[in-house]
Amino acid sequence: MTNIYGYAYERKGFWDSWGHLSPQLLKTGIAVSILLGVRSGPPTLLSVIASFALIGFVIITWLLMRKHDRTLCESCARSIPLNAAEQSARYRRRFATAHAGGNLKLVIAYLAVLLGSNYLLTVPHGRWVWAAIQASMIYLISAHSTHRRLQPWCPWCSDGGGGSEFDDATPDLPRDPGRRQLV
């Protein structure tokens, strides 16, 4: 896990702002792609252009999110809640999901399901199941950004990354550097 709590940098410029807003932008991008996918009728030139623009947008946003997540920007630092330990107790499932992103086999299986689900677009009513599978990405991004925000309180990140117990005490900041970035 990357050390993001060592210092907070001042966010400046368009790309930093894009990176900071990337979880919300990615979720919006995925929602738009689901809407494009479930709309019935043959593809039009406009819908094909929109699909490619969307893919480009999602890739750029994802890269900016990775860059943003390596450090902690001032706005993110300010958004850490005062009752972080309390909130973290409620987000165990999200933390576990975020850590599952570090399991290569699981990631490959998930990507296979994501790609394979495109077949559902060709069968009657399959597009609704496809939409539900695609929507799982929105949850994954939420899990990732919750984990990033509350990482010092994540039980899986405690004890050098192998911990499994909650500690209600405020963690020592900054964290040990050199941890691998998830997702």
Choose the stretch contacting Zn ion; rule: CB under 5 A; options: 13-21, 36-44, 57-65, 109-117: 13-21
Q: What's the 3-state SS for the chain?
A: CCCCCCCEECCCCHHHHHHHCHHHHHHHHHHHHHHHHHCCCCCCHHHHHHHHHHHHHHHHHHHHHHHHHCCEEHHHHHCCCCCHHHHHHHCHHHHHHHHHCCCHHHHHHHHHHHHHHHHHHHCCCHHHHHHHHHHHHHHHHHHHHHHHHCHHHCCCCCHHHCCCCCCCCCCCCCCCCCCCCCC
Binding mask 60-79 for Zn ion (x = CB under 5 A): -------------x-xx---
Q: Which residues contact 28 (CB under 8 A, 6 or more apart)?
A: none
The structure tokens 């902690």 sit at 72
Instruction: Name which of 73 and 143 has its Cβ closer to Zn ion.
Output: 73
Binding mask 125-154 for Zn ion (x = CB under 5 A): -----------------------------x
Q: How far is the CB of 33 from Zn ion (least distance, A)?
A: 24
Choose the stretch contacting Zn ion; rule: CB under 5 A; options: 14-22, 28-36, 116-124, 172-180: 14-22
The correct pick among 4, 20, 146, 149 for binding Zn ion (CB under 5 A) is 20
Binding mask 149-168 for Zn ion (x = CB under 5 A): -----x-xx-----------
Instruction: Name which of 30 and 76 has its Cβ closer to Zn ion.
Output: 76
Q: How far is the CB of 78 from Zn ion (least distance, A)?
A: 9
Taking alpha carbons only, the member of 90, 110, 115 closest to residue 100 is 110
Binders of Zn ion in range 76-115 (CB under 5 A): 76
Instruction: Name which of 143 and 157 has its Cβ closer to Zn ion.
Output: 157
Binding stretches for Zn ion (CB under 5 A): 20, 73, 75-76, 154, 156-157
